Amino acid sequence: MNRELLRAYGAEALSFAWNGVAEAAPPARPDAGALDKALARCLRLAEKSGRREFVLLGLGSGALASALSAALPERVELLVCTLDPASARAALQAGGLPRLNLDPRLTLLADTSPWALLFLMDMAGIAPAAAVLALNPEVADAERTELASLQRTLSASRPLDVPPPASEQAPAISAAAILRPDEPDLPGFFAQFPSWLAELCVLWDAPSPPSELPPCAVPLRQAARLLEHDFSAQRQAMLGLCRSSWVLYLDADETLRPEDWPRIAGLAAQGQVAGWHFPRLTFYPDQDHCRMGLGLWPDLQLRLFRRTPGLSFANPVHERLTGLDGPEAVALDLPILHHTHLLKRPEAIRRKLASFQLAGSGRGHTLSRDYPHLPRHLLEPPLKPERTRALLGGFL
C-alpha cells in the first residue's frame, strides 16, 4: 500500500474547508452493543478472507475504525475511507480516532468524490479482489448510499490491461476540438497531434476560420460557427466534421503526454468498449502541483468514443455525450493534462465561467482564490507507454 499518497491526499482534503461554511457537529458514537456487533462482523470477514488489506468504507464517529485498528492482526493494514471530509474533521477534532498517528497500519482517506477514492486505491496498489471491503454501519444515510455504490463498483468492475495494437488492427481516429482564434497557446495545442491520426477536425468559434494556422502534422478539416452559449450544439457540429470510426476530442487548454498517444490507438482497438473516460489533471497553482479534492480530481472526461449513428451531445454547458452503442470504460493511468491556470489569467478564466453561467441558464460558476492541491508527482501516473490499465463496467 502506498501510504505516502493516501496520507498526503487525506491530510490535504481534511485540512481544506470553504470560507463561510459552518463546521459539522461530531458524529454520535454507536452504543456498546452495536459497536461490538459491527467489530465482530469485521473481524470474521478479515479472518475468513485471510487478506492483508482491510478497507472500511465510512468513518462515522471513528469508534469502529479505532476498535478495528486495535483488534486486527498485525499483518493486516487498515484503510478507512470517507466521503464526508467535514464530518470526518469533526470526528477527529473530538478525538474519535486516537490511533491515527500511533498505528502505522492505519490510514484515513477522505474526499467527496467516490471516483477519487477508487483511483487512489488503485494508485496505491489496493486491488479490490485482494482486500476486504466492509461498509461501516455508523455512517449517515446519504454517505452510506454513495459508499455502497462505491463498494459495488469496486466489486463488479472488471480490470483491463490494454496493450498497444498491431498497426493493422488500429482503427482510424479523428482528433477534434472547438477553438477560438485567440486561444493563448494554439501552436502548442496543434503540435501535440501525432502524424498517424487520420485527421484533426477543428470548429472555430468565429465568423470564419483564421487565415493563418500553426504547423500541424495531421490533415486538417475545419469550419467556423459561433458558439452562441450552446456548447452541446457546438460539439455536435464538431462531430459532424469527423469522418473516422473513432473520435478523440480535446479542449484548447488540454494536452496528452507524448508517450501516451500510442496508447490511444490501443484503447480504440478494444472492440468491446464504445467509449473511454480519462482522468484530468488540472495544474494549480503551478506546473508542479495539481488540484484535488472536492470533486476537482479525477474529474473524469468521456473523450474517446466510437462514432455511430445516434450520438448526440446534451446540455448547453457541461455537455454530455449520449447514444453510445456499447459499454464504457475508464483509462486509469492515461491522464488529460489541463493547463488552464497556467495559460490564462484569472480574468480570462472568470470570463469563461461567466459564459458557462449564461449557457447554463444562470447556474453559478465561480473562481475560488484557493483550491486544495498536491505535488504533481503524487497524482500523475508514471509513464508506461507499453500498456494501459483500465476498468470496464460497473460504474458509479
Say whether 167-392 and 3-156 share the same fold. Answer: no
Report pLDDT for 143. Answer: 95
pLDDT of residue 368: 61
pLDDT at 37: 98
Residue range 3-156, CATH number: 3.40.1380
Return the HEC string of the chain: CCHHHHHHHHHHHHHCCCCCCCCCCCCCCCCHHHHHHHHHHHHHHHHHHCCCEEEEECCCCCHHHHHHHHHCCCCCEEEEEECCHHHHHHHHHCCCCCCCCCCCCEEEEECCCHHHHHHHHHHCCCCHHHEEEEECCCCCHHHHHHHHHHHHHHHHCEEEEECCCCHHHCCCEEEEEEECCCCCCHHHHHHCCCCCCCEEEEEECCCCCCCCCCCCCCCEEEEECCCCCCHHHHHHHHHHHCCCCEEEECCCCEECCHHHHHHHHHHHCCCCCCEEEECEEEECCCCCEEECCCCCCCCCEEEEEECCCCCEEECCCCCEEECCCCCEEEECCCCEEECHHHHCCHHHHHHHHHHHHHHCCCCCCCCCCCCCEEEHHHHCCCCCCCCEEEEECCCC
What is the pLDDT, as a whole number, of residue 362?
52
Specify the fold of 167-392: Spore Coat Polysaccharide Biosynthesis Protein SpsA; Chain A (3.90.550)
Could you report the average pLDDT of every consecutive run of 10 residues in the chain (396 residues)?
A: 91 86 88 97 97 97 97 96 96 94 94 96 92 96 95 86 76 97 96 97 97 95 96 97 98 96 92 94 97 94 96 93 94 96 70 52 56 95 82 76
Domains of the chain by residue range: 3-156, 167-392
